Amino acid sequence: MFTTEVFIVKVNDAIAEILKREGAEFLSCFPTTVIIEAAAQAGLRPVVCRQERVGVGIADGYSRVTNGKRLGVFAMQYGPGAENAFAGVATTYSDSVPVLLLPLGHRSDRSSIKPYFSSTRSYESVTKWMERINLPEQVPDAMRRAISMLRIGKPGPVMLEIPADIATQEIGPFDYRPIISSRAAGDPHDIDKVAEVLLGARCPVIHAGQGVLYAEAWDELIELAELLQVPVMTTLLGKSAFPENHPLSLGTAARTVTRPVQHFLNKADVVFGIGCSFSRHGMSAKIPPGKVLIHATSDADDINKNYFADYPIIGDAKLVLQQFIEVIKERLGKRGRNGNGDVAHEIKKMKEEWMKGWLAKLTSDEVPINAYRVIWDLMHTLDPKDAIVTHDAGSPRDQLVPFYPATTPRCYLGWGKSHGLGTGLGLIMGAKLAQPEKVAINFMGDAAFGMVGTDFETAVRNKIPIITVVLNNFTMAIETHDMPIAHELYGSRDLGGNYADMGRAMGGYGERVEKPSEIVPAFQRAIRANREEERPALLEFITSEEITFSLP
Ligand SMILES: Cc1ncc(C[n+]2csc(CCOP(=O)(O)OP(=O)(O)O)c2C)c(N)n1
Ligand SMILES: [Mg+2]
């Protein structure tokens, strides 16, 4: 520990020391940057990736799974390193993930001159906040501003660019205290008014977003839903904020949806958005016109953004839900509505009918394997509470999201307001680092794997025992409708590769699975490789071009 009076330290050492004081546990990174050496000396393990966008993804997955309570950090070199991180940073920005990015910057005498890349200039559109250090003694103040931006208000990526010539300069004695976070509750007048609206509603629906996860407000969400006997749907990013095996759960709405979500959303008179942005986006449910909209969010910028908010509330999801619970209990008594089970019964019936229509695909014996069968078999191999599952862009997302039941907070990572192919691999490594006791599984198509596949070696080398599922249909099935002529004339959709071989070549456990009866045993072997040898596993399932989805 540096005492402020005795040591003169260098900028990179000061940054590493501050990261430690703020609770960072590892540094996701790729050289060359002197921050790596400083972090290692300070006892922060460097997790070196193969490609910067994946390295950002590792920090991202770690921050998501810990609901921003622990610090995901990524450091990279100036120029190509910073340039190569863009896709990862854009993902953290569009999904509002609190990640600290530490690019080295070009030397101060050339940083603003063509052709040198400037992170501060180039990343402005995809960061919540950024700053370039110009003087060594700026470090403690700049780091305090950065960490404060991560921990207070709406989450998002923040960036501190450290010019190469400044990074190794000495700074005088410095003082740094970890920042103290704070949050706001809703205006009590708004809460009273909205409680009346909820109590008078004919068919209200709660629309829960990732703000519930970041606020760790899942217990409050269950309590309020039960008190009012109101059904709950989640957004893609909010998936796992409400247990999807609860009788009042409607499931998740993204590009694909469960039937109960769509049914209740259509017939709702009041939609109560909590911890969500109500963004109009291909990955979000469209709110049908004519609904009374309650919008509770910590971010004022999201209110009235895409929909008129009849009842805006600005506040932290946990505090706002607690306020509602209190007011509702005052009006209805401690037990709330006893609920004759009508809503739960309607949900159950609808879910059963919907599932009946999908059972043929979910349990299909066809060869090549149907992707839905892989999902179904996984659901019956593992208890979702013991795992963290995430999708990738493409069909695997649209197939998994409606059917895979998220029963405990963060047992599923829903992502993708910027749905970059390949993102799931970094996220699952970060998730596994945060919760090593969980089985961590990412689903990818063969095109998604192609984007980042060599970073499977990052998992092997760093002993991050994940299971990467590649659904190999030798094509980009989701593009079937978008490029028929190019495909007919030139076969433009199709891809090739033996990914299990690649997994083995990179030192992991690798298996190609072609028969449906082998799906469960293959998952079991992969889990064993994870547990007994700390070895990541790559399971390549040869699948059909399945393009039927549970659409709204
Ligand atoms: C970086 C990036 N480029 C392009 C896309 C557009 N895109 C989404 S899915 C997809 C193809 C997915 O193919 P695959 O991963 O094999 O999944 P499949 O649909 O075949 O199951 C493409 C090109 C994207 N999401 N991200
Ligand atoms: Mg494919």
Tell me how far apart the alpha carbons of residues 369 and 283 are, in angstroms, rounded to a whole number.
26
Taking the alpha carbons of 49, 51, 56, 61 in that order, is the dihedral positive or negative? negative
The residue whose two tokens read 């045993």 is: 521
pLDDT at 468: 99
Q: Indicate which atom in ligand 1 lies nearest the CA of residue 451.
A: 1
The CATH class of 9-171 is alpha beta
Give 367's Cβ-side CA count (13 Å radius): 7
Confidence of residue 223 (pLDDT cuts 50, 70, 90): very high
The residue whose two tokens read 């033996």 is: 498
pLDDT at 285: 97
Q: What does the pLDDT look like over 112-145, one tens digit per residue?
A: 999 999 999 999 999 999 999 999 999 999 999 9
> Across the strands, what pairs with 99?
72
526: left (phi over 0), alpha (psi -120 to 50) or beta: alpha
The chain-wide mean pLDDT, for the chain, equals: 97
Determine what percent of the chain is predicted with pLDDT higher than 90. Answer: 97
Same fold, 9-171 and 188-344: yes
- pLDDT at residue 5 greater than cutoff 50: no
Ligand number, closest to the Cα atom of 91: 1
Tell me how far apart the alpha carbons of residues 390 and 435 are, in angstroms, rounded to a whole number.
14
Domain borders along the chain are 9-171, 188-344, 363-542
Q: Indicate which atom in ligand 1 lies nearest the CA of residue 87.
A: 1
Q: What does the pLDDT look like over 486-499, one tens digit per residue?
A: 999 999 999 999 99
Q: What does the pLDDT look like over 399-438, one tens digit per residue?
A: 999 999 999 999 999 999 999 999 999 999 999 999 999 9
pLDDT at 194: 98
- pLDDT at residue 394 greater than cutoff 90: yes
Q: What is this structure's pTM?
A: 0.98
Tell me how far apart the alpha carbons of residues 378 and 370 are, in angstroms, rounded to a whole number.
13
Q: Indicate which atom in ligand 1 lies nearest the CA of residue 543.
A: 21
Ligand number, closest to the Cα atom of 394: 1
Cα(233) to centroid of ligand 2, in Å? 29
CATH for 188-344 is 3.40.50.1220
Q: Which amino acid is at 106?
A: H
Cα(253) to centroid of ligand 2, in Å? 23
Residue with CA at minimum distance from ligand 1 atom 13: 476
Cα(508) to centroid of ligand 2, in Å? 22
pLDDT at 33: 98
Residue with CA at minimum distance from ligand 1 atom 7: 394
Mean pLDDT of all residues in 280-292: 97
- pLDDT at residue 338 greater than cutoff 80: no
C-beta separation of 313 from 187 below 8 A: yes
- pLDDT at residue 289 greater than cutoff 60: yes
- pLDDT at residue 546 greater than cutoff 90: yes
- pLDDT at residue 75 greater than cutoff 50: yes
Cβ count near 183 (within 10 Å) = 15
- pLDDT at residue 339 greater than cutoff 80: no
For a ligand 1 pocket test, name from 95, 443, 473, 478 the mutation site with the most ligand atoms within 8 angstroms of its C-beta.
478
pLDDT at 2: 47
Ligand 1 pocket residues where CB is under 6 Å: 393-396, 419-421, 445-448, 471, 473, 475-479
Q: Indicate which atom in ligand 1 lies nearest the CA of residue 419.
A: 25
Cα(492) to centroid of ligand 2, in Å? 12
Tell me how far apart the alpha carbons of residues 529 and 539 are, in angstroms, rounded to a whole number.
12
Ligand number, closest to the Cα atom of 479: 1
Cα(478) to centroid of ligand 1, in Å? 7
The residue whose two tokens read 């070009």 is: 106
pLDDT at 7: 61
Confidence of residue 6 (pLDDT cuts 50, 70, 90): very low
Q: What does the pLDDT look like over 29-39, one tens digit per residue?
A: 999 999 999 99
CATH for 363-542 is 3.40.50.970
- pLDDT at residue 369 greater than cutoff 90: yes
Per DSSP, the three-state class of 495 is coil
Task: Enumerate long-range contacts of 39-46, CB under 8 Å, 24 or more apart.
Answer: 39/75, 41/13, 41/16, 42/13, 42/16, 42/17, 44/16, 44/19, 44/20
Confidence of residue 111 (pLDDT cuts 50, 70, 90): very high
Cβ count near 525 (within 10 Å) = 16
Q: Which residues of 19-54 are buried (b: 16+ CB within 10 A; e: fewer)?
A: bbbbebbbbbbbeebbbbebbeebebebbebbbbbb
Q: Indicate which atom in ligand 1 lies nearest the CA of residue 450.
A: 15
Residue with CA at minimum distance from ligand 1 atom 15: 445
Residues whose CB is less than 8 angstroms from the CB of residue 346 and which lie 6 or more positions away in sequence, other chains included: none
Give the helix ranges, DSSP H, for 308-341.
Answer: 317-332
pLDDT at 340: 79
For a ligand 1 pocket test, name from 391, 470, 476 the mutation site with the most ligand atoms within 8 angstroms of its C-beta.
476
The residue whose two tokens read 């970060």 is: 430
